[in-house]
């Protein structure tokens, strides 16, 4: 069931919980994320985005993600993550994505505003909500190295208010010490800055780089207005560890099915655990 509109996002912000945005790269990661959403009984965003298109192909991964979401009984949004290309954003909107992220965080402020405003115009015309980013995160979205928070730049609360007013975005991704990927030392978020950003803007906030965050930091961010939390590296690690463990037994018989199944089940279990942490429910059903 496709999750349209921002009602789920704004409800999460109002209720002090967050919707997870899980990044998918292939069939098994899509299936694992969907299984977790079904088991949790909570809204989940299935993020099939720019970097994953390089591996799977845009048309193939778009179709896979949208078909899986439409066939599921869970409330699933299909989200374009980290796009810097208006043509790509338009293609995903036309294909049926429920939300898109335009990433102009690498640009000077005025250029980020201009790019974001164009994306908002295109997406809103089709009833699709838009996330944008202000500030810059250290680390790599797709490769977990020892990222360091010092490589990024923090979001300024006053500038955030100006940015939201100038662009009309529906959600804002912020930089408050969070990084992409795992770090050698635990990340400490600037929760005071996050609270000031929350007070300055009316739209829900988004936290990228949640993999490996200490739980008190993650939940502290949710309590301060983060309504969407992106998780990528944690799912990738779970998938690769499961596949690696399955390979010795699978190789003699070339048993690819058991290997893929192990990876998919690990993604499902990890995504379910994170979903329940961000938005607890009475459900404790495990995905199959």
pLDDT tens column, 145-173: 544 544 458 899 999 999 999 999 999 99
Q: Which of 7, 73, 81, 140 is catalytic?
A: 81
Within a domain: residue 150?
Answer: yes
Q: Report the chain's C-alpha Rg in angstroms.
A: 18
Spatial distance between the Cα atoms of 152 and 172, rounded to a whole number of angstroms: 16
* Residue 55 included in any domain: yes
Exposure of 205 in the CB half-sphere (CA atoms within 13 A): 29
Q: How many domains does the chain have?
A: 1
What's the chain's average pLDDT?
90
CB-neighbour burial class of residue 248 (10 A; exposed 0-12, middle 13-18, buried 19+): exposed
Give per-residue pLDDT as tens, 130-140.
999 998 665 44
In a domain, 245, yes or no: yes
Would you say residue 108 lies in a domain?
yes
The mean pLDDT of 269-273, rounded to a whole number, is 97
Active site residue 265: no
Task: Identify whether 283 is part of a domain.
Answer: no
- Residue-level pLDDT at 213: 84
Domain residue limits at 217: 7-278
The beta strand positions in the chain, using DSSP E, are 19-23, 44-47, 76-83, 99-102, 129-134, 171-174, 205-207, 226-231
The string of pLDDT tens digits covering residues 241-250 is 999 999 999 8
Annotated binding site for Zn(2+): 82, 103, 133, 180, 208
Domain assignment of residue 286, yes or no = no
Residue at 285 is within a domain: no
User: Are 225 and 192 spatial neighbours (Cβ–Cβ below 8 Å)?
Assistant: no
Q: 3-state secondary structure string, 25-62?
A: CCHHHHHHHHHHHHHHCCCEEEECCHHHHHHHCHHHHH
**Rounded-to-10 torsion of CA 182, 79, 223, 270:** -50
Residues at the annotated binding site? Answer: 82, 103, 133, 180, 208
Residue 288 within a domain: no
CB-CB neighbours of 131 under 10 Å: 31
Q: Judge whether residue 205 has pLDDT over 70.
A: yes
d(CA 128, CA 57): 22
Q: What number of residues does the chain have?
A: 288
SS3 of 134, please?
strand
Give the CATH number of the domain where residue 23 resides: 3.20.20.70
In eight-state DSSP terms, residue 2 is B
């Amino acid at each position: 069931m496709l999750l349209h509109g921002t009602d789920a996002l704004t409800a999460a912000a109002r209720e002090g919980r967050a919707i997870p945005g899980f990044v998918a790269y292939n069939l098994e990661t899509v299936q694992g994320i969907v299984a977790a959403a079904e088991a949790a009984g909570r809204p989940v965003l299935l993020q099939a985005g720019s970097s994953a298109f390089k591996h799977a192909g845009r048309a193939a991964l778009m179709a896979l993600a949208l078909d899986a979401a439409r066939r599921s009984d869970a409330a699933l949004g299909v989200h374009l993550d980290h796009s810097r290309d208006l043509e790509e954003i338009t293609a995903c909107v036309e294909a049926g994505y429920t939300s898109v992220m335009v990433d102009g965080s690498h640009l000077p402020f005025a250029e980020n505003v201009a790019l974001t405003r164009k994306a908002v115009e295109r997406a809103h015309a089709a009833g699709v909500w838009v996330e944008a980013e202000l500030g810059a995160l250290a680390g790599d979205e797709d490769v977990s190295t020892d990222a360091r928070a010092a490589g990024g730049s923090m979001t300024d609360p006053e500038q955030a208010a100006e940015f939201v007013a100038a662009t009309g975005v529906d959600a804002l991704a912020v930089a408050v010490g969070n990084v992409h990927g795992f770090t050698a030392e635990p990340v400490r978020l600037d929760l005071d800055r996050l609270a000031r950003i929350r007070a300055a803007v009316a739209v829900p906030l988004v936290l990228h780089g949640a993999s490996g965050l200490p739980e008190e930091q993650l939940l502290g961010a949710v309590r301060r207005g983060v309504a969407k939390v992106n998780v990528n590296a944690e799912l990738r690690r779970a998938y690769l560890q499961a596949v690696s463990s399955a390979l010795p037994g699978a190789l003699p018989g070339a048993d690819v099915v058991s290997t893929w199944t192990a990876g998919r089940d690990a993604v499902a279990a990890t995504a379910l655990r994170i979903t329940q942490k961000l938005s607890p429910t009475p459900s404790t059903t495990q995905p199959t």
